[in-house]
Amino acid sequence: MRRDLFFKLTFLVFLITSSPFASSIELTDPLPSWNNGIAKQSIIAFATDVTDKTSKNYVRPEDRIATIDNDGTLWVEQPMYTQEIFIKDRFQELLKNHPEWKKQEPFKSILTSPSKKNREAVFAITSSKMTVEQFNSTIKDWLKTAINPRFRHHYTELVFQPMLEVINYLQANQFIVYIVSGGGQDFVRAFSEDVYHIPTEHVIGSTTKTKYTYQNNIPILIKEAKPLFISDHTGKPEAINLFIGKKPILAIGNSDGDQQMLEWTQSRPGKTLLLLVHHDDAQREYAYDSHSNVGTFTQALFAEAKKNNWYIISMKNDWKVIFPYELGQKK
């Protein structure tokens, strides 16, 4: 090569790589709220591999199924699940119109003994005998006003910014992203589109039965106090099969309740990616695992993750920021 041509080409490369547009064209970080650790690298490498038509691991867009848990994986779940806070608030609101409940069962026990059985009774009281539309509206109204006492923000602002970026990145790469939650399906559907940009039909969760009937000759669906299925532990893969009919290629959770979903995903032939969020940042969020009744992450699950090469996402080490509102505070 002639020396003058070599220097011209070298100068051209310098101009391109030093251009202010270079970073936005080629060097854009799809996960800017993540530190450059193994968890972030695994997500980008996996998406790159399965979308590359020349790769042996290429997956067609219609089979790029990703399933992500909600509580503790996409938003705060401590010290109590957000849905449980909603149910408690709604019960107190109903109690204002029914003072006699304080002396009647099962209401008296509900007020004095916070057992699992009583929590289920409260859920039945606060969500049944309503149309699906009325329940949805009630949830949305509550979310507009309810403020988390620790963070002083609405609950829909306490979603995890790094996970929002994962959802956006996967969708940009033609993944079909589903939320698979142990929480209430109708509850998550009330905000999934606005907050996560995940359509309601891509939300799978625990749900009660509904009854088709008529009101003023108009067909309606009334929620009943009878469980249809619980989308947790073994219920997650069962629900995935029922609603999706395909095994995911990627799954993300944060607790023992997600283990079977990750196992089910890994049993799919071909390349898969499994990740678990570990809450280890008491300063910016919470630190808990095996000793918590909410979002329990036992040592047995840690061992299972290690054995099966599941990636552990450390909130403390992998995430630069936790919540979206932090971005507005950073200079």
pLDDT in tens, the chain (331 residues): 444 544 444 444 344 344 444 433 346 999 999 999 999 999 999 999 999 999 999 999 999 999 999 999 999 999 999 999 998 898 888 888 888 877 777 777 766 765 666 666 677 777 778 999 999 999 999 999 999 999 999 999 999 999 999 999 999 999 999 999 999 999 999 999 999 999 999 999 999 899 999 999 999 999 998 889 899 999 999 999 999 999 999 999 999 999 999 999 999 999 999 999 999 999 999 999 999 999 999 999 999 999 999 999 999 999 999 999 999 865 3
Q: Give the predicted TM-score (pTM) of the model.
A: 0.88
At 325, list the tokens. 């509102």
pLDDT of residue 20: 46
pLDDT of residue 96: 86
pLDDT of residue 105: 77
Nearest to 109 by CA among 96, 90, 91: 91
CA distance 320 to 316: 8
Question: Domains plus CATH for the chain?
Answer: 30-81+154-207+229-328 (3.40.50.1000), 85-125 (no CATH)
pLDDT of residue 17: 41
* Whether 164 contacts 70, CB under 8 Å: no
Counting Cα atoms < 13 Å in the Cβ hemisphere of 261 gives 33
